[in-house]
Chains A and B, each alone.
Chain A
Amino acid sequence: MAIAAVALTAGPATAQKISIQYEDGDFKVTGWTVPVPDPEGVFGVYVGTGNNIPPLLGSYSAGRGLLVFHPRFPLAPGVHYRAVFQLRGEDPVVAFFDGPPQDTTPVTRVEQIYPSTNVLPANELKLYVYFSAPMSRGEAWQHIRLLDEAGKAVPLAFLELDQELWDPDNQRLTVLFDPGRIKRGLVPEQEIGPPLVEGKKFTIAVDKDWQDARGISLVEGFEKAFSVGPADRISPDPKQWKITAPKAGTSDALVVDFPKPMDYALLQRLLSVAGIAGDITVDREETEWRFTPHAAWKAGSYSLVADATLEDLAGNHLDRAFDVDTQDGHLEEDESRRAGTKTFTVPFETR
Chain B
Amino acid sequence: MPHLTFTGRSLRATALFFAGAVLAFSASTAGLTTGKAQLKSAGPLAFGPDGILFIGDSLGASIVAVDTHDNKPAGASTAVDIKGINRKVAALLGTTPEQILINDVKVNPVSKNIYLSVSRGRGPQAIPVILRTDAAGNLKEVPMDNVSFAAVMLPNPPATNPGDPRDPRIDTITELAYVNGNVIVAGLSNEEFSSNLRSIPYPFQSVSRGTSVEIYHGSHGRFETQSPVRTFVPYKIQDKQYIVAAYTCTPLVKIPVSELKPGSKLEGTTIAELGAGNRPLDMVAYSKNNHEFILMANSNRGVMKLSTDHLENYKPIKAPTEPAGVPYETLAGLKDVKHLTSLDESNALVLIDAAGSMDLRSLPLP
Q: Which residues of A does B touch, CB under 8 Å? A: 45-48, 50, 53-57, 71-76, 79, 81, 125-126, 134-138, 155-156, 159-163, 165-170, 172, 174, 176, 178-181, 183-188, 190-192, 211-215, 263, 265-266, 268-272, 277-280, 294, 307, 309, 311, 315, 317, 322-327
Interface status of B205 (Cβ within 8 A of chain A):
no
Please give me the 7 A-B residue pairs with the lowest Cβ-Cβ distance, nearest first: A213-B123, A279-B163, A53-B91, A188-B276, A167-B168, A165-B190, A136-B122
CA distance A269 to B161 in the complex (A): 6
Query: A-facing mask of B192-220, CB < 8 A → 1, else 0?
Result: 11100000000000000000000011011
User: Given A47-B96, A181-B276, 8 other A-B contacts at CB below 8 A?
Assistant: A53-B88, A54-B91, A167-B168, A179-B227, A185-B223, A307-B157, A309-B192, A322-B225
Q: Which residues of B does A touch, CB under 8 Å? A: 43, 58-59, 87-88, 90-96, 98-99, 101, 103, 119-127, 139, 141, 157, 159-164, 166-170, 172-174, 188-194, 216-217, 219-220, 222-225, 227, 230, 248-251, 273-279, 281, 299-300, 323, 338
A180 touching B193 by the CB < 8 A rule?
Answer: no
B157 touching A269 by the CB < 8 A rule?
Answer: yes
A179 touching B276 by the CB < 8 A rule?
Answer: no
Secondary structure dominating the interface of B: loop
Most buried by B among A50, A174, A263, A265: A174
Contacts of A191 in B (CB 8 A): 275-276
Subset of 24 A-B contacts with CB under 8 Å: A47-B91, A54-B92, A71-B94, A79-B95, A135-B123, A136-B122, A136-B123, A156-B300, A167-B166, A167-B190, A168-B168, A180-B248, A180-B250, A180-B278, A185-B223, A187-B274, A188-B250, A188-B277, A263-B191, A263-B192, A265-B168, A269-B161, A278-B162, A325-B222
CA distance A268 to B124 in the complex (A): 22
A192 touching B123 by the CB < 8 A rule?
Answer: no
B161 touching A280 by the CB < 8 A rule?
Answer: yes
The residue from A172, A176, A190, A278 contacting B193, defined by CB atoms under 8 A apart: A176
B191 touching A137 by the CB < 8 A rule?
Answer: no
A337 to chain B, nearest CB (A): 15
Contacts of A159 in B (CB 8 A): 248
B248 to chain A, nearest CB (A): 5
B101 touching A165 by the CB < 8 A rule?
Answer: no
Q: Evaluate whether A213 and B122 lie within 8 angstroms (CB atoms) in the complex, with A159-B248, A192-B276, A269-B191 already known.
A: yes
A254 to chain B, nearest CB (A): 14
Q: Evaluate whether A324 and B168 lie within 8 angstroms (CB atoms) in the complex, with A47-B91, A187-B250, A188-B277 already known.
A: no
A170 touching B251 by the CB < 8 A rule?
Answer: no
B190 touching A174 by the CB < 8 A rule?
Answer: yes
CA distance A317 to B323 in the complex (A): 28
Closest chain B residue, CB of each to CB of A213: B123
B225 touching A213 by the CB < 8 A rule?
Answer: no
B139 to chain A, nearest CB (A): 6
A270 touching B122 by the CB < 8 A rule?
Answer: no
B94 touching A79 by the CB < 8 A rule?
Answer: yes
B228 to chain A, nearest CB (A): 8
A179 touching B225 by the CB < 8 A rule?
Answer: yes
A347 to chain B, nearest CB (A): 19
Contacts of B274 in A (CB 8 A): 187
The residue from B127, B162, B188 contacting A165, defined by CB atoms under 8 A apart: B188
CA distance A179 to B58 in the complex (A): 22
B96 touching A79 by the CB < 8 A rule?
Answer: yes
B164 touching A268 by the CB < 8 A rule?
Answer: yes
